[in-house]
């Protein structure tokens, strides 16, 4: 089971980012239309896999570290699964990072790890990186919606 840590920067102070991150992650729970795309590096092939995401409950973890697990919705034995957490961290007064940390398990144990690392070019890690960027985009959208709502209430 390879360990993984992936970071991405996000504009906004942690006090603004964290509640929006929680909102976004809660929005992924229970959905049946979340799909991760695996770029396989084998003949340019990609595979779109419907996944189930769980955060361990609304009050799990700390305000800035939320447990996260993901697995394929169907045929779970054929696709990697992830278990870890996602957090926001301040990197300055107006900037933060989103950090995804945990382990992913490839199918077929050590043989699956070898295939992922060699033939598939770490497809599972690239897929998790793309998922974190998707979350980043959703958090930014939530921040913008919130700011727009405040402006509308204030009559600006």
- The parent domain of residue 142 ranges over 3-154
Can you give the pTM of this predicted structure?
0.82
135-139, Cβ contacts within 8 angstroms, sequence gap of 24 or more = 135/21, 135/24, 135/25, 135/86, 135/98, 136/8, 136/10, 136/98, 138/24, 138/27, 139/10, 139/17, 139/20, 139/21, 139/24, 139/98
pLDDT one-digit tens code per residue, 21-34: 999 998 988 787 88
CATH number for 25: 3.30.530
At residue 58 the predicted structure's pLDDT band, cuts being 50, 70 and 90, is very low
Mean pLDDT score across all residues of the chain: 83
Strand bridging mode 35-39 / 81-90: unpaired
Backbone torsions φ then ψ of 50, nearest 5 degrees: -65, 135
Look at the chain and report how many structural domains it folds into. 1
- 138: alpha, beta or left? (left if phi > 0; alpha if psi -120 to 50): alpha
Averaged pLDDT for residues 39-65: 70
d(CA 27, CA 128): 18
Assess contact for 140 and 10: CB atoms under 8 A.
yes
């Amino acid at each position: 089971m390879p360990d993984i840590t992936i970071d991405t920067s996000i504009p906004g102070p942690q006090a603004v980012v964290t509640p929006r991150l929680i909102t976004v992650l809660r929005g992924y729970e229970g959905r049946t239309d979340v799909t991760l795309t695996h770029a396989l590096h084998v003949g340019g092939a990609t595979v779109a896999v419907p996944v189930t995401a769980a955060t361990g409950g609304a009050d799990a973890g700390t305000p800035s570290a939320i447990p996260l697990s993901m697995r394929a919705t169907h045929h779970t034995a054929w696709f990697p699964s992830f278990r870890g957490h996602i957090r926001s961290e301040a990197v300055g007064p107006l900037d933060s990072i989103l950090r995804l940390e945990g382990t992913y398990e490839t199918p077929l144990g050590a043989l699956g790890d070898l295939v992922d690392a060699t033939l598939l070019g770490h497809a599972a890690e690239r897929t998790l990186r793309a998922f974190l960027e998707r979350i980043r985009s959703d958090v930014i959208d939530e921040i913008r919606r919130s700011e727009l709502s405040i402006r509308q209430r204030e009559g600006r």
